[in-house]
Structure 1
Amino acid sequence: MSKRRDLEQPCLLNQSLHFDQTTYPTYTEVVVLNRDRLYRKGDVLTVKVVAIDKKRRPKPYGGDFFHTRLVSCDRSLQASSAGHVTDHCNGTYTVQFPLYWVGNVSIKIQLVHPSEAVKILQSVRQVPNKRDFHCTFVELTTKAYDTRQCFSSNNPSLPPHRRCDFSKWEANGTWICQKPEKLPCSAIAKCRWKKSDLSRVRDLVSQEEMKLFQKPYLEMELKVNPKEPIRFLEAELPTPEHLPACTGNARESGASLGHWSGKVWKSAVCNVRVFTKEDIQQCLANKTVYMQGDSTIRQWSERLKNVVPLYYDNNSPVFRVANNNQWNISVRYRFHHFPVQGSDWIDFDDSRYTVDELDATQGGPNTVVVLSLWAHFTAEPLDMIRSRLYAVGGAIHRLMRRSPDTQVFVRTGTTREHVKGKLEFYLLASDWLAYEITEVIREVFRADPDVVVLDTWDMSVCQPGKDNVHPDQTMVDNQLNRLFSHICPK
């Protein structure tokens, strides 16, 4: 991941685009510092990256976005971890890799986007209403209907008398539609994203700028000097094998440190256990788990349905209730309110703001709330998700005042696939956009005593499987292990 000093990108703010200074992966230098020292498990390996342009000149400014990994050369270990990048804003970067295992390792550093592409993504993100949403309005008695364009941000060009405003200031949520000519606003029925029309997004980027979202500037592995693997020995003093229980204190909330060992994520912060089916049943017995947000949290609920197992009381695509009567377990999933980037029509009446759901939750010692709000907001101005999260935080605090024993978790974003390298997928859902939201989630909730942040970014950067917004079962099971380790730490 790429670590910056704050979310406003100081390395980019005053920089105009200099295409002749774009970071060129072939020439960019990656050097292991103190290469010849004897490293042991528990040490930190430091790597320096010097961004070089196509004319072999060092870049004078920062802002490049990387994925950095440490990978075991011993295939039987199947070990990997993420590095942590410090941008020095002068074209140089320091990557630190905590050393979690013994043996030979290889360093993998991928330039996801040069700073010039990041600058474009930053500019495009700030353009409101670039996705094409529509809602249908239906009069049930006459069957008359109309379809109108809708907006996830305020649209000053739409006068008040020509708009249906479904916004809710308590949730910091905006949803405004063009008013039908002959139907009332209350006739709103279904909404969806018109996926086929992406010309508005592509038109935000010039032909020259498009080149930055193609090879050799896009998602390129950098050459590490020297190429030979580095060997790590056992620590001179044995490292403690028993980590503290996952209690959810400030030290643990948001902590992403750890590594993959085979198909198991091992936290470096607290004791994340591997839960069997029986363990999960006992952990969740007599509990109600509210999962609210996007389809990445729906994937968690679907996995629980098969493992516990749970049986659906309904089959709504945006609101599902599943129960296990033997263990008295209930899992309730609901999608967040618009904007929703999906091509299926969604009943408007089924959509509720997360704030409303939290305010309607009684809570208590047997209530668990898990929120995932990121994937559908990557295309929106960053202030939208920030303001929504602040409203959600207020609702969480009201819930905790009612029922202080309620457990509340907020998960961060993850890496994802980018379909056939199409430009519009990067402009709407680049990993850089998702990482910025992850940073906002950390900013809003990391020090909040009422919330545990389940930081899933690092474990996705170095995951054994492929990047996907809906990752494989190994990733989902380990994400759930982290959740259960906090719900049932002993």
Structure 2
Amino acid sequence: MGISVEEWGRLQKALDWPGPDQEITQLNLSTSPVHSTFSIVGLKKSYKVGENISILITARDHNNNLKTYGGDFYKAKLFNSKLKASVYGEVVDHRNGTYAVTLLLPWEGQSQVFVRLEHSSEVVQILKKYRDSSFPRSHYNGHFEGPGINNTKISEVVQCNLKWGAEGSWRKGDCCCEYKDIKTKTVWQCERPKKLSCDYLVHHSMGNLENPLNSAEKQIFTMKLTNVAITGDTQVITVLPNTAGIGTMERCRSGLTTPVPAGFYFSDVWESFVCNAQQFNSTQMGKCLENKIIYLLGDSTTRQWFEYLEKNVPGIKRMDLHTPRTGGPLMAVELKNNSIIHWRPHGVPLRFTKMLITDLHYIGNDIDEIAGGPHAVVIFTIAAHLVFHPITFYVHEVAKIRQSVAALLRRAPETTIIIKSGNTGGQKNIFQSDWYTLQLNTVMREMFRDIDGVIYFDVWQMTSCHYITENVHPEPVIIGNEVNMLLSYVCPA
């Protein structure tokens, strides 16, 4: 994995998630969203802005028996639909079937509590099992193209995947063409084409998904019991004004930690508790990006930022690089203010539509090619496409990126480097559960904790407490708030 034994031990501690001490295969013993409840502890007639309320979640199984162990994956928030206001609450696991949530009351008016069971502890046990296995839940296609007889062209499509772990290949024997990246040491495999040699791999695309669940696991992992609201105290909470307020924020910079909550929505605007988030109009966006080169690396969630800036920065134009419109790489320029924005997807494994394999670069390798400096802003994310693969591989990838980031900061310490966390997604299944993403976010945050000069921009809370249905590609109102927060780091007030 490219890390020390000591660091792996610390990561395992950070990733620790309680659950049953034996494999549960009976549905009636798993947590039931119907019988589980939440209550507001010591509910008062009214509160003041800035105060907290405490929530107690009690988990029960399908026989209505109290659970005796933890591990359920709950999400909680406070909201007011009319005010378009909401705030995230972190769920603390007591490991005995009860959970606590502390919710801040950040706005004046009325509020209500909402709690949902995303996955039972028994489902998390299944998720963990397959995350740690080498079972290929996601497959990929390699497109080989080359010359045939009589000036014809041969095209072959074969299955490809990652070579990783003790078991190595997902195919056995002398099955495959291997492509090893020199710097990251990552090995990509494709089944050997029947007519062409391994040198003719031209394109990459997503393949099929393979469900590993057995019949008992499928019963526990039924979608009817996934991402379900639980019943509880739905009384309206009255919040009165507080002349003292919540306090002022410092300027956005590297080194700041993410509190819980990290902010809240009010009238669809994100009010940050991390630092002084600004609201940028189009002119101010253009001014902020003056003489800047922005490198957006990662997946389609950073492409959404590229597209938002492309749409809102005056005078910016996308260049025709003769690449797929959504696959990239992409570049936009604004000549008056001398601004350049690049976006590039990360290397395989990647579930994108058909694109040139040569256009898929590992993030660490791309960062190694950036000179850096006060004009350079490097933003990267890597989460959504790695949830299909062992977490040990993710650690390996992050270790290589960290190595490249550290080298960039040594040669150009004035470079702005921003890590975008993974956000919540729409699918809650064995392939793309938010529990996977939450674990990957933990790895990224822990592994960059001691790297000075790096900004960790946590969008998890921003995407999980909004009233719009969760989607791996958040709606424009959320993207707009993310970009305002992003620019607040690039041009702090």
The TM-score, its normalising length taken from structure 2, stands at 0.90
SS in 1 for 2:374: coil
Query: Which amino acid in the other structure matches residue 205 of structure 2?
Result: R
Superposition deviation, residue 29 in structure 1: 2.5
- Name the structure 1 match of 2:236: 229
- Name the structure 2 match of 1:282: 287
Q: Contact 1:43–1:99 (CA<8 Å) still a contact in 2?
A: yes
- One of 84, 90, 96 as aligned partner of 1:90: 96
Superposition deviation, residue 381 in structure 1: 1.4
For the residues of structure 2 that align with 1:140 and 1:363, how far apart are their CA atoms? Answer: 42
For the residues of structure 1 that align with 2:223 and 2:336, how far apart are their CA atoms? Answer: 55
For the residues of structure 1 that align with 2:115 and 2:435, how far apart are their CA atoms? Answer: 15
- 1:336 equivalenced with 2:346 (yes/no): yes
- Name the structure 2 match of 1:482: 485
For the residues of structure 1 that align with 2:473 and 2:223, how far apart are their CA atoms? Answer: 25
For the residues of structure 2 that align with 1:236 and 1:282, how far apart are their CA atoms? Answer: 35
For the residues of structure 2 that align with 1:111 and 1:159, how far apart are their CA atoms? Answer: 40
Superposition deviation, residue 207 in structure 1: 2.4
- What does 1:89-488 align with in structure 2 at a 5 Å threshold? 89-128=95-134, 129-140=136-147, 143-154=153-164, 155-156=168-169, 158=171, 161-168=174-181, 170-171=183-184, 173-195=186-208, 198=209, 200-201=210-211, 204-214=212-222, 216-225=224-233, 227-235=234-242, 237-240=244-247, 242-251=248-257, 257-308=262-313, 309-313=315-319, 314-316=321-323, 317-342=327-352, 344-418=353-427, 426-488=429-491
The TM-score, its normalising length taken from structure 1, stands at 0.90
Decide whether aligned partners of structure 1 residues 350 and 160 sit closer, same or farther in structure 2, where only a CA change above 3 A counts: farther
Q: Contact 1:31–1:48 (CA<8 Å) still a contact in 2?
A: yes
Decide whether aligned partners of structure 1 residues 70 and 412 sit closer, same or farther in structure 2, where only a CA change above 3 A counts: same
- Measured against aligned partners, the alpha-carbon deviations of 1:370-400 in whole angstroms (never above 9, x if no partner) come to 1011111111111222220111011001111
- 1:14 equivalenced with 2:21 (yes/no): yes
Name structure 1 gaps, 5 residues minimum.
419-424
Query: Which amino acid in the other structure matches residue 272 of structure 2?
Result: S
SS in 2 for 1:139: strand
Say how many residue pairs are matched: 470
Superposition deviation, residue 265 in structure 1: 0.4
For the residues of structure 1 that align with 2:372 and 2:170, how far apart are their CA atoms? Answer: 43
For the residues of structure 2 that align with 1:177 and 1:148, how far apart are their CA atoms? Answer: 7
Q: Contact 1:263–1:474 (CA<8 Å) still a contact in 2?
A: yes
Decide whether aligned partners of structure 1 residues 230 and 407 sit closer, same or farther in structure 2, where only a CA change above 3 A counts: same
Decide whether aligned partners of structure 1 residues 159 and 15 sit closer, same or farther in structure 2, where only a CA change above 3 A counts: closer
Query: Which amino acid in the other structure matches residue 419 of structure 2?
Result: V
Superposition deviation, residue 318 in structure 1: 2.5
- Name the structure 1 match of 2:67: 59
For the residues of structure 2 that align with 1:160 and 1:14, how far apart are their CA atoms? Answer: 37
Aligned alpha-carbon RMSD (Å) = 2.2
Superposition deviation, residue 216 in structure 1: 4.5
Q: Contact 1:397–1:450 (CA<8 Å) still a contact in 2?
A: no
Decide whether aligned partners of structure 1 residues 43 and 15 sit closer, same or farther in structure 2, where only a CA change above 3 A counts: farther
For the residues of structure 1 that align with 2:342 and 2:20, how far apart are their CA atoms? Answer: 43
Q: Contact 1:255–1:269 (CA<8 Å) still a contact in 2?
A: no
Decide whether aligned partners of structure 1 residues 289 and 430 sit closer, same or farther in structure 2, where only a CA change above 3 A counts: same
Superposition deviation, residue 273 in structure 1: 0.6
- Identity, in percent, stands at 26
- Name the structure 1 match of 2:47: 39
- Measured against aligned partners, the alpha-carbon deviations of 1:443-471 in whole angstroms (never above 9, x if no partner) come to 22244213111100011111132211111
Decide whether aligned partners of structure 1 residues 372 and 8 sit closer, same or farther in structure 2, where only a CA change above 3 A counts: closer
Decide whether aligned partners of structure 1 residues 86 and 180 sit closer, same or farther in structure 2, where only a CA change above 3 A counts: same
